[in-house]
């Protein structure tokens, strides 16, 4: 069974009722807002947002286009996109990891037997930043993870200036991350994901 079928807050929003156009033809209107897992077909839209968001800050992207396609093929259930009128405006991509802390290998590997979700990237389109969308999307994503029976915690690495943002999202700092990218240093952070049975009783999962 698809993970999405068990998540009421991720069910695709139905298209609005058909309307008649001036020429008498019926047309559909895209949903105003929709959250769903991403697919490899979304990879180009994801990369365009990520490239604009990160290159100006760090000079590189957490994931390149082929890596985005790689993760969206292997573990699409660990991604989440926010679409407005059919256009991607924000996204998160994750994969599974099987060790206590992140290592350099975590940047490119998906460990299917792991119980830690490594959040590789969260990015918001430049036209809708400063609207709280990053926080809302992260909250949705964590709710999504709580409905996946194998997920026990979420891990991420970020630069120091982003630590307060993730702390407000409920993450705690674990200390310096051993992963380095060129001359950049990162803080490793984690968020517990409660047991599947508990959340199923209390959140409708």
State the catalytic residue, choosing from 122, 137, 145, 155.
122
Does the annotation mark 166 as catalytic?
A: yes
The verdict on whether 137 is a catalytic residue reads no
Q: Does 107 participate in catalysis according to the annotation?
A: no
113: which residues sit within 8 A by CB, 6+ positions away?
96, 98
Phi (first) and psi of residue 177, to 5 degrees: -90, 140
Q: Which of 120, 125, 144, 191 is catalytic?
A: 120
The catalytic residue among 63, 118, 166, 191 is 166
Structure tokens, 120: 């590789």
Told to judge if 122 belongs to the known catalytic residues of this protein, a careful annotator would answer yes
What is d(CA 51, CA 67) in angstroms, rounded to the nearest whole number? 13
In three state form, how does the secondary structure of 74-122 look?
A: HCHHHEEEEEECCEEEEEEEEEEECCCCCCHHHHCCCCCCCCEEEEEEE
Instruction: Note if 63 is an active site residue.
Output: no
Active-site position among 79, 95, 96, 137:
95
Set 4, 109, 162, 174: catalytic member: 109
Structure tokens, 77: 């259930």
The Cα–Cα gap between 92 and 80 comes to 5
Residues recognised as catalytic: 95, 109, 120, 122, 166
């Amino acid at each position: 069974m698809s993970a999405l079928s068990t998540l009421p807050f991720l069910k695709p929003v139905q298209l609005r009722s058909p309307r008649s156009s001036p020429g008498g033809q019926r047309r559909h209107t895209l949903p105003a807002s929709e959250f769903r897992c991403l697919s490899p077909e979304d990879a180009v839209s994801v990369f365009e947002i990520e490239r604009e968001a990160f290159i100006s800050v760090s000079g590189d992207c957490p994931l390149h286009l082929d890596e985005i396609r790689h993760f969206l093929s292997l573990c699409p259930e660990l991604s989440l996109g926010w679409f407005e009128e059919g256009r991607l405006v924000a996204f998160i991509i994750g994969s599974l990891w099987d060790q206590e802390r992140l290592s350099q290998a975590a940047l490119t590997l998906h460990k299917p037997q792991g119980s830690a979700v490594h959040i590789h990237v969260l990015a918001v389109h430049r036209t809708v930043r400063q609207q709280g969308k990053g926080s809302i999307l992260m909250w949705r994503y964590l709710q999504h993870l709580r409905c996946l029976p194998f997920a026990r915690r979420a891990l991420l690495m970020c630069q120091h200036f982003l630590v307060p943002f993730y702390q407000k999202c409920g993450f705690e700092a674990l200390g310096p991350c051993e992963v380095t990218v060129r001359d950049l240093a990162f803080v490793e952070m984690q968020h517990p994901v409660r047991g599947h049975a508990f959340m199923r009783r209390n959140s409708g999962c």
